[in-house]
Amino acid sequence: MSINATDSDPKGDQSKNENQRKIGNANDHDSPYSEESTQQQTEHGNAALELINSVTGADEEGRSRQRILTYAAKRYASALKRDPEDCDALYNWALVLQESADNVSPDSTSPSKESLLEEACKKYEEATHLCPTLNDAYYNWAIAISDRAKIRGRTKEAEELWKEATKNYEKAVQINWNSPQALNNWGLALQELSAIVPAREKESIVRTAINKFRAAIQLQFDFHRATYNLGTVLYGLAEDMSRIGGAANAKEVSPDELYSQSAIYIAAAHALKPNYLVYTSALKLVRSMLPLPYLKDGYLTAPPAGNPLASHTDWKRSRFVLNHEGLLQIIEIEQRYMSRSLSSNSEDTMSPSRQAIKVDIPDIVSVSACTDLTLPPGACLSIDTIHGPLYLIADSWELFDWWLDAIRLVYTIYAKGKSDVLAGIIT
């Protein structure tokens, strides 16, 4: 049984970024281009034009699109003859080459998809040399490298290309950290790399991929692709752990917990995008791994209901469940009351009344980590509601991350008007 990750996010358009261009050209040093390097650039430009001119397109729509791309390439070539340091022209020309590669017929050998992508990579490299802050160039350069890696399958050459792609995604995120698409693609590149590297290197790369997908959905919680991809990478990690016999030590989460959390992300992705067949198919495989009729079931340390600032000694570890409606504390009935005769009406046989914590999803204002030193130590989750704050302690920081994501995702699904889809999954 396998679940495939979704593709990288699409390339950006050919629009110019004024801020990046101004920052990139604010250089006091001499031009890096000598007369010789300008001549080399002209030769490369001619070679790139020949490649683009030889692309025909697989159908009428592709041929029409290719004519537009060819015209654009000639414009950028002319712009670079006038100004070899025009980083916008280099960047847009690289985009043209990259889109032309998508137009190449699968059975074409001249030009090949690889040759167009390689030429695009050269243009991106030149553009970033001139304009080191052009994050879109690093982002699309990484996509082009990834496409080249895919052509090579699971080879050593592909491994090196995936590593190069991750470095460019990293650079793009360093320049613009507020980019969930770049983080998602970075995670995908790491996921692909993990399938090629030696086993001893794999887990570290997989853990890093998990962090990238989580960072993406932290920035954009309705980002269904990153949500789904996070589910797939956790599923793969669970498969690997199952093969080696479970967790290496008691502090690690078990494969069953990983499978369950994987199913949560895949279910959430399906709820956010119910018509996407990839998510529908994956959900059929993992739905049984959910703690039905709940989305999530686990333990949190909580204060007495109605008293979020109770003494530390009054906080108790208890079971909590999450569904499309809210988060509910499950109060376990003490065994001695369970053993009493159920036929008796005597008051002393009734279980004690204990109020349970309940948080309705529509009442949530925010969910975040909390570092208040007045609270018990540990991975503290703060749920701010219209009725006031609620603080809960997870058993570990990894489990904290999962509770945080699950509650935020359920709220996002509610805010998007898709709670009925989620309800249909778990009930």
Domain residue extents for the chain: 37-125, 297-333+353-426
Considering the four listed CATH numbers 2.30.29.30, 3.50.50.60, 3.30.365.10, 3.60.20.10, the one that applies to the domain covering 297-333+353-426 is 2.30.29.30
Residue bearing the bigger pLDDT, 10 or 339: 10
As a whole number, the mean pLDDT across the chain is: 83
Considering Cα of 223, then 389, then 360, then 328, what sign does the dihedral take?
A: positive
Residue bearing the bigger pLDDT, 54 or 294: 294
Q: What tokens does 241 get?
A: 């752990």
pTM: 0.83
**How many other β-carbons are positioned within 10 Å of the β-carbon of residue 44?**
15
Q: What angle do CA 143, 148, 149 make, to 5 degrees?
A: 95
Residue 248: pLDDT band with limits 50, 70, 90: low
Q: Is the pLDDT of residue 215 over 90?
A: yes
Report the pLDDT averaged over residues 264-288.
97
Residue 136 pLDDT: 95
> In this predicted model, what pLDDT tens digit does every residue of 108-129 receive, in sequence order?
566 688 888 998 999 999 999 9
Residue 310 pLDDT: 84
Q: Is the pLDDT of residue 211 over 70?
A: yes
> In this predicted model, what pLDDT tens digit does every residue of 317-329 receive, in sequence order?
999 999 999 999 9
Residue bearing the bigger pLDDT, 173 or 2: 173
Per cent of the chain over pLDDT 90 is: 59
Report the pLDDT averaged over residues 214-243.
95
> In this predicted model, what pLDDT tens digit does every residue of 46-76 receive, in sequence order?
666 667 656 665 566 656 676 777 777 788 7
CB 425 within 8 A of CB 272: no
- Buried/exposed code over 58-88 (b: 16+ C-beta within 10 A; e: otherwise): eeeebeebbeebbebbeebbebbeeebbbbb
